[in-house]
Amino acid sequence: MEKSKERFSDLSLLKASENRYPTSPAEARLEAFQNIYSDRDYVITFDCPEYTSLCPVTNQPDFGHIIVRYVPDKLCVESKSLKLYLYSFRNTNTFHEESVNTILDAVVKLCKPRRAEVVGHFRPRGGIAIHVKATYGGKIDE
């Protein structure tokens, strides 16, 4: 049991009884925990259908569906911290292409996965839907 406590000692957001909603991705804190199955490849998928951000030109809200998939190495992304991180885009002016790449960069920086991808399916505005996929370390087989 003591070893388990040690594995999770860096997770501050999951332990918090209240949510501190960050106002920007720069303020948000992604957290990770030790992957006890680092000897094998497996895929983790986070499906976030309620993503929002603001258009950097019109300041109008943009709505999308973000999917984060990765093959972990030594660390795994803690899901509550990812939820709060994605929430932080709600008041952020960004293009869709930028937000997808920003999310991928944050995941890679945090846990250095073997492979990772972030896909954004954004709702139509002006009659055009935008779909963006950014990858790191090669393709993830389905």
* CATH number of the domain where residue 50 is located: 3.30.1130.10
Average pLDDT score over residue span 56-71: 96
The residue segments making up the domain with residue 8 are 2-136
Q: Is residue 141 part of a domain?
A: no
Average pLDDT score over residue span 74-81: 97
Which of 81, 20, 23, 13 shows the shortest CA–CA distance to 53?
A: 23
Measured CA to CA, the distance from residue 92 to residue 65 in angstroms comes to 16
The catalytic residue positions are 55, 62
pLDDT for the residue 1: 46
pLDDT at 140 over 80: yes
**pTM score of the predicted model:** 0.87
Q: Is 80 helix (H, G, I), strand (E, B) or coil?
A: helix
Average pLDDT score over residue span 24-46: 96
Average pLDDT in the chain: 91
Average pLDDT score over residue span 39-66: 96
Q: Is residue 142 part of a domain?
A: no
Least confident of 6-20, 47-61, 89-103: 6-20
